Amino acid sequence: MWMKHGRGENRGIWMTFVKKEGAACLFKTEAYTFHLANLVKSGQLLGQQVRENGHGVNLIDFCTGTGCIPLGFFSSLQHSVKNMTVRGVDISPVALRLAQENIARNVELQTLIKPTRNKRLDITTANVFSDSDMQQLAVTRWDILVSNPPYISEDVWHHGRGQLGYSVRKYEPRLALVPANNLPCPSGCNAADVFYARLLDISELLKPTAVLLEIGDEDQALRVLQLYFAHPIAQSSRVEVWRDWPDLEGTEDPEFIVVEESKGEKHQVPVKGDGRIRSVLICRLDEV
């Protein structure tokens, strides 16, 4: 699939042939996106009726950037379901323009079908931290909520710390990687995790069947899981962690990570796949 990644006006790239630091991000985002789509196609996530009846599947991707997740999900399901709405949401006009260009280019190359009324692929403007914007989105039924939000700390952005290459800091927009300092941060929440706290609230509002959140590393996964278990959404859902390649078997024995809440209660969270810890999947209990 062809993707312009935003590192210059004429640097369109094939998603599977990206170079340097951007490659790891795209490969791993691609891996969990297609695994998610495969769970839908197999009926494991939303049930067998998705492929047959008019219900279809609706996915919303917050902080969509250049549209990697919605394009990947749409392309994977475009010939498998009768009805589908896939929407990418971002606050950056530049990112939204690039996402629209990526859709148009892939339609031109025939790697994507042209979106129709029954199979929609939309890129729209919305602010994750705007209650009114989120209320407008709540009018639609969303089956899946996905997000690869800004999650890099100020310290890592300025100093790298072995986690962020120089070329990323030089070429990638800070807005897409580092949460702004003026965002509302709940008490006890790490500043780098502020988007996750907000996305849990949005998930409670939109009530999707599944929520998939990309995270930076294992330490952040533990912090996000602590936010999850302290949130009301934990009472009606289950959670698991995916590694870079969630469809691969990492070990023969079941793997878990232990999450300890502030009040001392401990939870065992299953870990699936191979590679480094990459994302957190939340599924509603009444749908699984």
pLDDT tier at 48 (50, 70, 90 boundaries)? confident
Give the rounded percent of residues in the chain with a pLDDT score beyond 70: 80
d(CA 16, CA 235): 39
- Mean local confidence (pLDDT), 180-185: 85
Q: Which of 3-7, 19-23, 62-66 has the lowest mean pLDDT?
A: 19-23
What CATH number has the domain bearing residue 260?
A: 3.40.50.150
d(CA 190, CA 262): 14
Q: Say yes or no to pLDDT of 5 above 80.
A: no
b vs e for 193-212, b when ≥16 Cβ sit within 10 Å of the residue's Cβ?
bbbbbbbbbbbeebebbbbb
- Mean local confidence (pLDDT), 78-97: 94
What pLDDT score was predicted for residue 28?
A: 62
Q: Say yes or no to pLDDT of 24 above 80.
A: no
Q: Say yes or no to pLDDT of 273 above 60.
A: yes
pLDDT tier at 261 (50, 70, 90 boundaries)? confident
- Mean local confidence (pLDDT), 69-80: 95
- Mean pLDDT of all residues belonging to the chain: 85
Q: How many domains does the chain have?
A: 1
- Mean local confidence (pLDDT), 203-229: 96
- Mean local confidence (pLDDT), 199-221: 96
- Give me the helix-helix angle, 194-206 and 218-229, nearest 10°: 40
pLDDT tier at 277 (50, 70, 90 boundaries)? very high
- Mean local confidence (pLDDT), 224-237: 97
- Mean local confidence (pLDDT), 267-278: 95
Closest CA to 165 of 19, 16, 66: 19
85 touches 122 (CB < 8 A): yes
Which range of residues forms the domain containing residue 195? 2-287
